[in-house]
Structures are given as structure tokens and as C-alpha cells.
């Protein structure tokens, strides 16, 4: 591996808290909940009747009606976030060597809405009635392909899928490509659009979702003793990653450095994390080691923090194992999922963006809805109110079904 450094020069967001970085960050600081009763279909009778829906995206700003019909909603979100990230980076792709530009814009589930519609069409109308765009709409690599087509990115382009760790893995993979000198710029992140009957019922049948339907805004409560499950969210997060000297040469604004990452697997269970948290702990240690960080250098961790009983307890234990109990209690740890809901394949990148904004603005986002302390979760979760703090380095954790763990180590760029 070369000594080429990777920095973030652009960020784009589509989320339940808004579809512009400034508005998104303002609401994060305010501790605003983007979780409400589902409006995309009638959720009556479903175990979980709430979600973090995208409600502010003007799709026609990014895609014509014809383009929208040809793409699943997860690709709509990916295109919008990528367009915003590239615009934010002020990268003029037509003036770059296209073979040195690439993309990994991924998804955890893909075109679930397209699959749901196609299934209904087949049952009602029989064979040969489905749209000819059904397969390209549904497949998980289409978001990355469409982003490349729009911006003429002719370098490495593919999709990684690792459930809720997907977009953090996309960032780590893109960093590796740049560090190996296979590209100078990579557009990386993830997108998800699973708020449909099939998606909500599927996760509900796993008993993974909160059923506190009488109070959607307060239902997602990571690390709280009374947490009862996660809440599905949708949207996209995309960043522009760039080799440092390339970014400096064109006078780019540098938001932060992706200094290291650690990827591990629990090799334990298809959905539950390893009870001892060893895989998560190893991911954090690897990320810090590769970034040249010591325990005392990390001021903040954006936790995976799903609001499920098992995950939050295990992640807390993993943080203690890495930092030591005394040091861990001095750390600031928070879960932005308490506000955005769990954006599944988009979560890792969205939370990396939150971490970058926390460093740049000197504000740690809160974990909202924290009311009753849990003896098994006894760290500083920045409860309910954002906090001013100087952050030079932070970690962003993402853990997925299948036991797939990744931690991104981010540094303030000097």
C-alpha cells in the first residue's frame, strides 16, 4: 500500500432530516426526530407502523420523469446524493481524466419496491406483463452504474453489499482504490428505499423493529433501558473521496481525512452480533492502528447504536474492551439513528458525514429519547442535547447482518 492519503472533498445527503447538508446538520444539532407514522402505504395491522421517510426531496431537480420511471427509488436517492456531493466538491469531471474517476455507490437491499410491484403484476396479469426495466431497476449495482454514466466516471465501479455496513464498506473500498493508485477520485456511499409493505413486514416478522407505535418520535431510543427495536429509515449518503495532492492541486475544500478503517467478521450468527463484541472491538482497533491513533486521541464515536436490546449492550462492551473502562467513560458516544432512523445500506456513509460535521463544527450530536439509564449501557451517550467539544479524531461504527463489522477512523485535516 502506498502512502497516498485520502480526504473528503464533497458530501451529499438525502434523509428523513432533509436533503441538504446545512438543513440536515441543523436538525441533527437540534435533536430533531425524522421518524413518523408511515405515509407510503397504510401501515394498519403491521407490527411497526413508523419509519424515517424521505419527504423533502425534489426528484425533478435531479431526474426527469422518464428517468425516474426507469430507476428504482433507491437509485433516485443515490443519484440525488451523488449529484449534490460532486457539486459540493466543485470537481469538474469533464476536465479530469475519466479513467482516474470511479464510484462505489452501494445498497444493502436494492430495488425492493420494484420487486414488490413486479410480483403483484405477475400474479394479477400473468407472464410477460412486467416492465422491461424490472431487472435493471432492481439490481443492486445500478445506483453505482447510473452515477458513473451521469458523470463519466470510467474508473473502478462496482457495488458492495454488507447489510447495514454497506456504505461504510463502500468508503473503505474506495479509499483502498485511491491508496493503491488505481484512481484519484472516488464517489462513494450508499442508498436505501425499503419503506414498502414487503420491507416493513419482513423486518417486522424478525421482531427487530420497535412497536412503540403510539409515539413514533420517541420510539427510537438507543442505549436507553426501555429500547425495544430499531426503526427503518430511507435515503442516501454519498461522499467524494480524493487523493490529497490531487485535491490540493485543484484548491478543493477538504472536510476531513479518512485516516484508517477496520473490517472484520464475527463469523457467529446470521443476524445477532457476537455476544462478547470481539468482532466490533477488533474493527475499532484495526481502524485506530491504521490511522496512527492512540486511545487518548479519539474524542467521539458515532455508534452503530440501533436501539435494539442486544446491539447496544454489545457495542458498549466492545468500546470498553478497546478503550478500557475508565477511558471509555470519558469518550463521547452518540447514535444519530435516534433521529434519522436506521437507514440500512445508507447508514454508514450518513453517519460518517455526521462525524465529519461534528469535527468541523465542534459539536457532538445527541442521542435523543434517552430517558432511563441501562446498567449495561453506562457510557456518555451525549443524552438529548448536543454538546460543544473539540474533536480532532473520531470513529464511526457500522455493523451488519452476517456479522460484518467496519469502523472508519476520521481525522480533522490540518
Q: What is the pLDDT along the chain (414 residues), one digit of tens a residue?
A: 468 999 999 999 999 999 999 999 999 999 999 999 999 999 999 999 999 999 999 999 999 999 999 999 999 999 999 999 999 999 999 999 999 999 999 999 999 999 999 999 999 999 999 899 999 999 999 999 999 999 999 999 999 999 999 999 999 999 999 999 999 999 999 999 999 999 999 999 999 999 999 999 999 999 999 999 999 999 999 999 999 999 999 999 999 999 999 999 999 999 999 999 999 999 999 999 999 999 999 999 999 999 999 999 999 999 999 999 888 889 999 999 999 999 999 999 999 999 999 999 999 999 999 999 999 999 999 999 999 999 999 999 999 999 999 999 999 998
- State how far the Cα of 55 lies from the Cα of 138, in Å rounded to an integer: 22
Strand order across the beta sheet in which 256-265 lies: 101-106, 185-192, 235-243, 6-14, 256-265, 404-411, 393-400, 300-302, 332-334
User: What does the pLDDT read at residue 304?
Assistant: 98
- State how far the Cα of 313 lies from the Cα of 324, in Å rounded to an integer: 16
Q: Is 31 in contact with 218 (CB distance < 8 Å)? A: no
Please identify which residue in the block is written with the cell numbers 441533527. 28
User: What does the pLDDT read at residue 2?
Assistant: 66
- Kindly calculate the radius of gyration of the chain based on its CA atoms and give it in whole angstroms: 20
Would you please indicate which residues are annotated as catalytic (active-site) residues?
164, 304, 342
Q: Pairing state of beta strands 235-243 and 332-334?
A: unpaired
User: What does the pLDDT read at residue 329?
Assistant: 87
User: What does the pLDDT read at residue 326?
Assistant: 84
Q: Which of 190, 195, 139 is nearest to 162 (CA)?
A: 190
User: What does the pLDDT read at residue 207?
Assistant: 94
User: What does the pLDDT read at residue 226?
Assistant: 98
Tell me the three cell numbers of residue 411.
Answer: 481525522
Tell me the three cell numbers of residue 380.
Answer: 456518555
Q: Pairing state of beta strands 363-364 and 300-302?
A: unpaired
Tell me the three cell numbers of residue 181.
Answer: 493508485
User: What does the pLDDT read at residue 1?
Assistant: 47
Phi, psi of 358, deg, nearest 5: -60, -45
Which domains, and CATH codes, for the chain?
6-249 (3.40.47.10), 260-411 (3.40.47.10)
CA 155: distance to chain centroid? 23
Residues forming beta bridges with residue 397, ordered by sequence position: 407
Amino acid at each position: 500500500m502506498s502512502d497516498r492519503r485520502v480526504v473528503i472533498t464533497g458530501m451529499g445527503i438525502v434523509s428523513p432530516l432533509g436533503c441538504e447538508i446545512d438543513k440536515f446538520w441543523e436538525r441533527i444539532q437540534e435533536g430533531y426526530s425524522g421518524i413518523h407514522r408511515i405515509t407510503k402505504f397504510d401501515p394498519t395491522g403491521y407490527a411497526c407502523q413508523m419509519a424515517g421517510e424521505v419527504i423533502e426531496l425534489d426528484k425533478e431537480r435531479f431526474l426527469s420523469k422518464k428517468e425516474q420511471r426507469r430507476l428504482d427509488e433507491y437509485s433516485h436517492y443515490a443519484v440525488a446524493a451523488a449529484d449534490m456531493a460532486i457539486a459540493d466538491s466543485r470537481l469538474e469531471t469533464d476536465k479530469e481524466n475519466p479513467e482516474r474517476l470511479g464510484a462505489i455507490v452501494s445498497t444493502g437491499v436494492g430495488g425492493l419496491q420494484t420487486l414488490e410491484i413486479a410480483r403483484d403484476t405477475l400474479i394479477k396479469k400473468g407472464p410477460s406483463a412486467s416492465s422491461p426495466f424490472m431487472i435493471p431497476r432492481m439490481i443492486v449495482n445500478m445506483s453505482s452504474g447510473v452515477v458513473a454514466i451521469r458523470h463519466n466516471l470510467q474508473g473502478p465501479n462496482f457495488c458492495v453489499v454488507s447489510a447495514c455496513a454497506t456504505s461504510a464498506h463502500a468508503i473503505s473500498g474506495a479509499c483502498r482504490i485511491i491508496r493503491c493508485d488505481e484512481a484519484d477520485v472516488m464517489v462513494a456511499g450508499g442508498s436505501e428505499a425499503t419503506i414498502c409493505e414487503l420491507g416493513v413486514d419482513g423486518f417486522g416478522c424478525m421482531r427487530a423493529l420497535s412497536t412503540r407505535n403510539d409515539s413514533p418520535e420517541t420510539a427510537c431510543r438507543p442505549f436507553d433501558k426501555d429500547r425495544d427495536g430499531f426503526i427503518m429509515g430511507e435515503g442516501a449518503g454519498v461522499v467524494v473521496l480524493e487523493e490529497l495532492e490531487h485535491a490540493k492541486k485543484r484548491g478543493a475544500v477538504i472536510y476531513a481525512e479518512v485516516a484508517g478503517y477496520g473490517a472484520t467478521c464475527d463469523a457467529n450468527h446470521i443476524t445477532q452480533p457476537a455476544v462478547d463484541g470481539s468482532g466490533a472491538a477488533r474493527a475499532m482497533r484495526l481502524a485506530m492502528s491504521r490511522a496512527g491513533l492512540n486511545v487518548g486521541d479519539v474524542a467521539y464515536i458515532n455508534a452503530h447504536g440501533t436501539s435494539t436490546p442486544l446491539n447496544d449492550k454489545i457495542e458498549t462492551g466492545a468500546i470498553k474492551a478497546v478503550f478500557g473502562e475508565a477511558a471509555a467513560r470519558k469518550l463521547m458516544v452518540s447514535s444519530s439513528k435516534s433521529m434519522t432512523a436506521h437507514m440500512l445500506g445508507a447508514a454508514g456513509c450518513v453517519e460518517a458525514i455526521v462525524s465529519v460535521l461534528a469535527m468541523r463544527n465542534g459539536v457532538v450530536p445527541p442521542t435523543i429519547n434517552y430517558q432511563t439509564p441501562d446498567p449495561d449501557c453506562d457510557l456518555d451517550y451525549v443524552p438529548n442535547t448536543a454538546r460543544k467539544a473539540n474533536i480532532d479524531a473520531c470513529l464511526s461504527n457500522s455493523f451488519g447482518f452476517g456479522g460484518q463489522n467496519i469502523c472508519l477512523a476520521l481525522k480533522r485535516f490540518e
